[in-house]
Amino acid sequence: MVKASPLRVVAPIFFSTHFFLLLVVTVALTVVINGVIDYFMYRNKPPWFVVDGLNTIATVMLFNVIVGILLFFSAKDIQKRVREGVSPPVDQRALRGGLGTRILFFSLCLPNWKTRLPMFLLNVCWFPGVPMLIAMGFFCWCAINFQPLGAQNCPATSIMEYVIWTELWKGISVGIVFAMNYAAAHNDDQPEVAVSLLDDPGSATGELR
């Protein structure tokens, strides 16, 4: 039998109403809540820099860690759906995937939550954390007409412009972290979903052969 690619195995869980609704709600709540906080926290503290050196690096990493923790411990509902057979589990070998998957998503295949939690937090700092910082720096570099980047770059003309750009990267980051956590919660090797697999050993989505 032809071996299914990891992407084809994992992809079906993302084409569900449950995933789409949770993703939209999670991103919307994150953007709205953080937007209100950022507005009232910084509205009287100009100038506002979209990229602010080490402060931006620390903010992006800390944001991803906090979001990672909150989403990680909210995965019980997803695992319950898998355990009850509402959502099909995903073969652990698909989550392990190829070289690219192991580099970008190295924590998703770990079955034990005590091991996966610290690795997941490290994972979200690496991805999407590092690529997000690179993207922010690149677009800021383009915005200042390819001049050398300094400690403070891309000043916003108003607090609303600053909030819009800030919530844009936060919304993208939380969406990626949510999708990663959603996939990890479908790992068929987790004890949390073992009941459904004992009832139906061949139920893993796109089981690799």
* pLDDT tens digits, one per residue of 91-133: 999 999 888 889 999 999 999 999 999 999 999 999 999 999 9
Q: Is the pLDDT of residue 169 over 50?
A: yes
How far apart, in whole angstroms, are the C-alpha atoms of residue 30 and residue 50? Answer: 18
Q: Which of 43, 27, 64 is nearest to 156 (CA)?
A: 43
Backbone angles phi, psi at 51, to 5 degrees: -120, 115
Model pLDDT, residue 149: 84
Model pLDDT, residue 209: 39
Q: How confident is the model at residue 8 (pLDDT cuts 50, 70, 90)?
A: confident
Q: Is the pLDDT of residue 195 over 90?
A: no
How far apart, in whole angstroms, are the C-alpha atoms of residue 191 and residue 194? Answer: 5
Domain boundaries, the chain: 18-197
Q: What percent of the chain has pLDDT over 90?
A: 78
Q: Which amino acid is at 117?
A: L
Prediction pTM value: 0.90
Q: Is the pLDDT of residue 25 over 50?
A: yes
Q: How confident is the model at residue 20 (pLDDT cuts 50, 70, 90)?
A: very high
Q: Is the pLDDT of residue 153 over 90?
A: no
Say which residue, 52 or 152, is predicted with more confidence. 52
Q: How confident is the model at residue 163 (pLDDT cuts 50, 70, 90)?
A: very high
Model pLDDT, residue 4: 63
Q: Is the pLDDT of residue 176 over 80?
A: yes
Q: Is the pLDDT of residue 54 over 80?
A: yes
Mean pLDDT of the chain: 90
Is 81:87 a contact under the CB 8 Å cutoff? yes
Say which residue, 95 or 199, is predicted with more confidence. 95
Q: Give the N- to C-terminal CA distance of the chain in Å, as an integer.
A: 7
For the residues 21-45, what does the mean pLDDT come to? 97
Residue 152 gets the label, from left (phi > 0), alpha (psi -120 to 50) or beta, of: beta
Q: Which amino acid is at 47?
A: P
CA dist 82 to 79, 157, 197, Å?
5, 48, 9
